[in-house]
Amino acid sequence: MDASSLILNPKRQKLDGGEEVEGSSKSLSNLPDVVIQKIISLLETKDAIRTSILSKRWEYLWTSIPNLNFYKGLFAARSPLVNIVERALLLHGPADIETFDLTFPVLDDACRVNAWIDATVRRNVKKLYLYLHSLKEPFYLPHSLFTSTTLVAAELDIPFLFKAPSTVCFSSLRTLSLRSIVFSDDSTQQLFSGCPVLEELSIEECKWMNLKFVSICAPQLLRLTITELDPQLSKGSDGCQIMIFGVSLTYFYYRGELLNEYCFYDSSSPNEAEIHLSYNFTKKLRPTAYRLYKLLRGLSSVKELVFSDSNAFEVILGNAPELVAQMPLFNDLTTLVLEDSVYIDNKALLTMLQYCSCLETLVFVEGIGLSSDRVEDDGVLEPLPPCFLSHLKMIEVGDFSGDENELNALEILLKNAMVLENMLLACTTEFQGGPEKKTEIAKQLSNLAKGPESCEVVLV
């Protein structure tokens, strides 16, 4: 039985021994106020407010709860939600608000919602989550929000035209998530320069309208995530150049069509990066090739790189071949993860690996194969990546089913990777054979290794 049912359904309860005790509300009323307030704080905001009807003493105990969460799903209509938010903010005691979480159809109530946000700022809100939709009039966040000294985390999912005041200083903000926002003027720069202690930034499905250049300046930024999958985001825009100044950056994630250009300032390359590209083949991919090239230049110091699509290299090779000779050297890259199924004799992939001379671990998440069942007599990859001769020690292959094409691809890898020490094959449910078959394949493949040291092949 949860706290809500115990408090809001004060019936007589029986102990294990059969002795009846007074209803839970009376039992709870014997507790100190501070304990009751702690219990009430565990309830949904709506239920916490409902406890005010239990007794005179309980009437205002809920007003000190630190977390206020409101979403339309709690109510059959919009009006009760408006009333309960108004009451909660009006009667909330002097205690600070820890979290204010609001999902709300704004309609014509932009001023009302702004007043709510302003009230939370005056109550020293620390975590602010706003999911606002159905806007029927221009909406601008209150100026008081942009100078909050207590806000540490904010998530804004608002399809509106962003406007910030001339002064922006989130002196305590460490986590910021932005979704569906339209950035259109110089106030955008004010936002991305006004978060001196920001550590995590997420920009999802936002539009850079009428903007040619924006810099993200956050000296303590550790993680940056960017998603732009909606093709409508590029309408009316030729793309924006976003320069990232993040000397502390450790992780970068991108998913989308490279609708904009992302560059890292000299010393801002992260340690880990994930790039998940999608393409619109009805458009010319030459601009995409140039943007991918500039992004990779900024990631040249990365230590671990994840690509969801190995064809990303083909975008450069096929649409801007003049850039191949200018590709940066990934001398710090030790782990490369390719999440899609890969042909190991793919020219674009082998060309990319030419620039990863210190690669130690190569992971093929969804398996490998050859683009043709024909295997060259010498089995030499052309061009042969230099890391195969000196550094590559571990190869992991997923979705291994044991067919002939896969075995031929593995044979070529083993013949070319001269210092390989371990090969791990993760079998699919379609793998034909039990433990004996796995042992047989492992032994067969181990005997094909050409390096001076033995290579251990393991099937799991």
At residue 329, the pLDDT reads 95
Task: With CA atoms as reference, report the closest residue to 304 among 352, 338, 347, 327.
Answer: 338
pLDDT digits (tens, 9 = 90+) for 377-402: 567 888 899 999 999 999 999 999 98
pLDDT digits (tens, 9 = 90+) for 65-115: 888 988 766 666 788 889 888 888 888 877 799 999 999 999 999 999 999
Distance CA 373, CA 412 (A): 12
What backbone phi and psi angles, to 5 degrees, belong to 386?
-60, -30
- Average pLDDT value for residue range 416-444: 90
pLDDT digits (tens, 9 = 90+) for 399-413: 999 898 999 999 999
Residue 373 above 90 pLDDT? no
Q: Which residues contact 295 (CB under 8 A, 6 or more apart)?
A: 254, 258, 261, 262, 263, 275
pLDDT digits (tens, 9 = 90+) for 328-346: 999 999 999 999 999 999 8
What's the length of the chain? 460
Q: How confident is the model at residue 21 (pLDDT cuts 50, 70, 90)?
A: very low
Q: Tell me how far CA of residue 228 lies from CA of 261, 278, 457, in angstroms.
A: 12, 10, 40
Distance CA 449, CA 344 (A): 17
pTM: 0.86
pLDDT digits (tens, 9 = 90+) for 241-283: 999 998 899 999 999 999 999 999 866 789 999 999 987 766 7
At residue 255, the pLDDT reads 96
pLDDT digits (tens, 9 = 90+) for 305-314: 999 877 788 8
What backbone phi and psi angles, to 5 degrees, belong to 136?
-110, 0
What is the overall mean pLDDT for the chain?
87
What backbone phi and psi angles, to 5 degrees, belong to 67?
-115, 120
At residue 12, the pLDDT reads 42
pLDDT digits (tens, 9 = 90+) for 136-178: 888 999 999 999 999 999 999 999 999 999 999 999 999 999 9
User: Cα–chain-centroid distance for residue 290?
Assistant: 24
At residue 377, the pLDDT reads 55
At residue 152, the pLDDT reads 98
At residue 18, the pLDDT reads 40
Burial (CB count <10 Å: 0-12, 13-18, 19+), residue 34: exposed
pLDDT digits (tens, 9 = 90+) for 46-65: 787 777 777 777 767 777 78
pLDDT digits (tens, 9 = 90+) for 356-369: 999 999 999 999 99
Q: Are the C-beta atoms of residues 399 and 424 closer than 8 Å to each other?
A: no
Distance CA 262, CA 254 (A): 10
At residue 231, the pLDDT reads 76
At residue 319, the pLDDT reads 93
At residue 328, the pLDDT reads 93
Between the two ends of the chain, the Cα-to-Cα distance in Å is: 44
